[in-house]
Amino acid sequence: MIGLLGGTFDPIHYGHLRIALEAKEALGLDEVRFIPCRQPPHRDTPGASPQQRLELLRLAVADMPGFAVDTRELERDGPSYMVDTLASLRGELGDAPLCLILGQDAFLGLPRWHRWRELTDFAHLAVVRRPGPSAPLAGDLALLAEAHRREAGRLRAAPAGGICFLETPLLDISATRIRELLRSGRDPRYLLPDAVLKSLRRSGLYST
């Protein structure tokens, strides 16, 4: 089964890398593909360009066998809709089981995603824990989770269609905080790989 972790990665940090590894081990994934989105959501802080985010991501996964970067969202014009990405992967990979890894915050925001009910047509969803406000599942999302809920060990039996919740350790790391630390002249070391931090220091990205 192939794991997929979509994100802005602005920049990539140990929260991303650790949940990818936790999911890889918990689900017996053959690989995890990190999929940077083209257009980061609008915000006031300076963000990196897609090319800069991609370079940092490549530095972060370079020494990890089983982690790879998939650039299809960067190459596609228009908004990066995950449902299109999953459809494109499905077209390439035939019946291989696919599993989209989502932090709890991303999962709770799913009803705002384009054609979100169709995501489980193309992949399983694995939800990992993340610190932050945790509202109980409600409405259509609760119905989706109820209808598709599976044990983690059963996901690989089908190409798509299951949702599992993984009891992963909480890691209070966010790209927002790392950008804030850099902007205020503080040190984000130990929140992200040294190679990524070195590159950020060289380029001055997020520091001004």
Q: Which of residues 49-108 bind ligand ATP (CB under 6 A)?
A: 102-103, 105-106
Alpha-carbon distance values, 87 to 83, 105, 206 (Å): 6, 23, 34
Part in contact with ligand ATP (CB under 6 A); list of ranges 64-72, 133-141, 174-182, 188-196? 174-182
Q: What is the smallest separation between the CB atom of 187 and ligand ATP, expressed in angstroms?
A: 18
- Which residues are CB-contacts of 129 (< 8 A; sequence separation ≥ 6)? 103, 104, 166, 167, 168, 169, 170
Q: Which residue in the set 71, 174, 199, 207 belongs to the binding site for ligand ATP (CB under 6 A)?
A: 174
Q: Which residue has the tokens 């994934």?
A: 29
DSSP code at position 85: H
Q: Which residue, among 89, 33, 40, has the nearest Cα to 57 in the 3D structure?
A: 33
Q: Which residue in the set 1, 4, 16, 188 belongs to the binding site for ligand ATP (CB under 6 A)?
A: 16
Q: What is the smallest separation between the CB atom of 171 and ligand ATP, expressed in angstroms?
A: 4
Q: Which residue in the set 108, 152, 171, 182 belongs to the binding site for ligand ATP (CB under 6 A)?
A: 171
Radius of gyration of the chain (CA): 17
Query: Binding residues for ligand ATP, per CB under 6 A?
Result: 7-10, 15-16, 19, 102-103, 105-106, 128, 130, 171, 173-176
